[in-house]
A and B are shown apart, each in its own frame.
Chain A
Amino acid sequence: MLMHFKLAWRNIWRKPRRTLITCSAIVFAVVAAIAMQSINRGSYEAMIERMVSFSTGHLQLQDYRYEDESSLDNAFPIDQTTLELVRSADERIEHVVPRLETFMLAANEEYTRGAILLGIDTDKEHRFNTIRNHLTEGRFFEPDEQAVVLTQGLSSRLQLGVGDTLILIGQGRFGMSASGLFTITGLLEHPIREMNTQAVYMPLKTAQGLLSAENHLTALLISPQRERHTEQVAASIREVFADSELVVFTWPELMPELLELMELDLAGPRFITAILYVVIGFGFLGTVLTMTLERIREFGMLLSIGMSRGRLVGVVFLETFLISCLGVLSGMALAWLILRLADPIRLSGNAALALMDLGFEPVLPMSFALDQFLMQGLYVFFMAMLASLYPLVTIFRLNILDASRK
C-alpha cells in the first residue's frame, strides 16, 4: 500500500506546474463557494439567533391548543412540579424561561396603538438573552412593580418617555376585562425590527394579575446548552409530557417561514457554486485525461509485468484523489483564514443604510459552520470520482499490445 501511495504521490509531481494549476483551480472554487455560503449563512444565523434569543427560544412548551389559537384561554398552568419535570427531562437544558404573551391596546391620553405584551421573569430573561443591553433610557422594572419597559418604536408613536404612564387595555383569560396604568421605567431598542414598534415588557406577576392569568403561561421557553442538541432535548421533553396537554415545538417549527426564506435565498449561491464546480470539474477532467493519455504505454508495461488492472486503477484513482484532497484542504484552510480575517464585514455608505432601514446592524457576520466546509470536500471528492471514471474505463479496456505501440 505504501509503495502504491508513493507511486501515486510521485506521479502527481511529474508535472508540478500542471498539478499546481489544477490544485489552484480547486482552491479557488472551494474558497469562492465557502465564502459565498459563509456570508449568506452568517447573516441568517445571526437573524435566527436574534429570533431565538428574543422571541421564540430554541424550544417552547405550550398548551396543544395554543398553536392554532394563540389566545390567553389556551394558556397553561405552571407550578413547581411542572418546572421540575422540564428541568429533569434532559441534563443538557440550560435555560427555562416563562412567558405570558398577548395582544393589547397601548395608549396615552390621545393615541392608541396595538401592542404585544410580554410578561417576563426578569432574572431568568436576563440570564437567557441580552435584552437588558438594548435599554436606551431608564431601567428594567423590579419583579413586582406596576411598570413597563417600552420599545423605542412604540414610545415614539405614543410620544411617551421614561416616567410617563402607559395605559393598557385588552382582554384577559375567558373574556375578563384587562386594563391598567403602568409607569414606564425604561425604553429599549428591540433587536427585532417588528418587535420594536409593538413590544411592551412587563413583570410576569404583574402581567398575570392584569390578565387574570395567575400562575399561567402562554409558553415556557427552553434552551439547550448547545443549539445542536435542540432536537434531542425536544425528544426528551416530548417523552416526559407524552400524556399531558403540553406539547413541545422546536424553533424551526415555530418559524417555518424564516427557514423557507433562508432556503430560497441560499438557492442562488448554491446555483453559482454548482456552475463553478462544473467548470472546475471539466478542468480537472482535462488534467486526468492528459495524465491518462500520456501514460498509456506505461500502463501497458505495468500490466505486462504483472500489475493487475484493479491495482493500476487504484493507483490512478489515488492520484486524482490526492490532487483533489490537496486542493480541497488548501482551499478550506485558505477560506477559513480569509473568513477569520474578514469577519465580520462592516458595511458603510448606502449598503449600511439599507440594512439599517431593515432593522439590521450594518455588518455581515460569517458562518463557520463545519458542515459548509465538509460539504465542499464531499463535492470535490465526488468530482474526483467522476473524473477518475475515464482512466478507470481506459485501463479496464486497455489492450496491452496497443498500449506498448503508443
Chain B
Amino acid sequence: MPIVQTENLTKVYNPETVPVHALRNVSITIDTGEFTSIVGPSGSGKTTLLNMIGGLDKPTSGTVLVDGVNVTRLKDRQLINFRLKNIGFVFQHFNLIPVFTARENVSFIMLLQKKDKKEMRQRTDELLEAVGLGSLKDARPREMSGGQQQRVAVARALASRPRFILADEPTASLDTRAAMNLLDIMLRMNHEEQVTFIFSTHDQRVIDRARRVITMVDGIVEADEHRK
C-alpha cells in the first residue's frame, strides 16, 4: 500500500534570475514498511526530494501525496500539524533540544501531541531501551556521544508513532561503529514496528543495507532498485 507518491515533482530555484532545476518531473511511489535509501552525489536533489515529501518545501509543480493527502496544498499551520501526526524526522546533526534530557527530548513530541502522561512515560522508556540508551535517560545531549545523540533522535522520531520517518544523512556525522549500530536499530524498528524509513545518504554502509535504493542525478531519478 503506497504511503508516499510523488507525481511529476519539479523544483526550480531562482526561476526569475538564474534557474536551478533541483528536481525534474520526479515520480516515485513508496509503500508502507519500506526501508528506502535515496542516493546520489551532492546537488543531485535527494535532500530537496526529502524536503518536499516532509512538507518542508513547496514544489514548483507536481504533487506529493502522503497517505492520500496532497501536502503541497496544505497551509503552514496544517503542515505543522500534519508533520506532527504523520512524519518523524532524523537530522544529520541530531538537532536535539540541548537543555532537555534524553527522556525529555523523546517525550516532548508526545507532549505536543497531547498524549496521556502514563502512555508518554511508558513509550519513552520503551524507545530508549530499544535504542540501547536505558542507562542514559537523564543525560543531556552534551553528555552523550554523537552516536548516542542520533539514537535519541531516532527514538524521538518514533515516539509519535509516525506513518514514516525521513532521515537526512543520518550517519554522516557518525563513526563506522556508531553508524552500523544506528542502522541496526533502524532496521529492527522497521521490522518490529513496521515503520517506513526514507533516508537520503551517500554513505555506502547505509546503501548496502537498504532494501530499496533510488538513485538521483541532476534532479532526475536515474535508477530505482528493489532488493531482497
Contacts and interface: CB of A to CB of B under 8 A. Distances in A.
Interface of A: 3, 6-7, 10-11, 13-14, 297-298, 301-309, 311, 400-401, 404
Contacts of B89: 304-305
Given A6-B104, A10-B100, A309-B76, 14 more contacts: A10-B99, A13-B99, A303-B80, A304-B54, A304-B56, A304-B89, A305-B84, A305-B89, A305-B156, A308-B81, A401-B51, A401-B56, A401-B57, A404-B56
Closest 3 CB pairs of A and B: A306-B84, A10-B99, A301-B95
Contacts of A14: 98-99
Nearest to A1: B111
A307 B80 contact: yes
A309 B111 CA distance: 15
A303 B87 CA distance: 12
B49 to A, nearest CB: 13
Contacts of B99: 7, 10-11, 13-14
A404 B166 CA distance: 15
B109 interface: yes
Contacts of A307: 80, 84, 112
A6 B84 CA distance: 21
Given A10-B100, A400-B56, A306 B112 contact: yes
Nearest to B83: A306
Contact of A301 (B77, B91, B100): B91
Interface residues of B, number: 26
Nearest to A11: B99
B20 interface: no
21 contacts: A3-B104, A14-B98, A14-B99, A298-B95, A298-B97, A298-B98, A302-B97, A304-B54, A305-B83, A305-B84, A305-B89, A305-B156, A306-B80, A306-B81, A306-B85, A306-B109, A306-B160, A307-B84, A307-B112, A401-B51, A404-B91
Given A3-B108, A3-B111, A400-B56, A304 B83 contact: yes
A27 B76 CA distance: 40
Interface string B39-71: 000000000000100101100000000000000
Contacts of A297: 95
Contacts of B160: 306
A308 B80 contact: yes
Contacts of B95: 297-298, 301
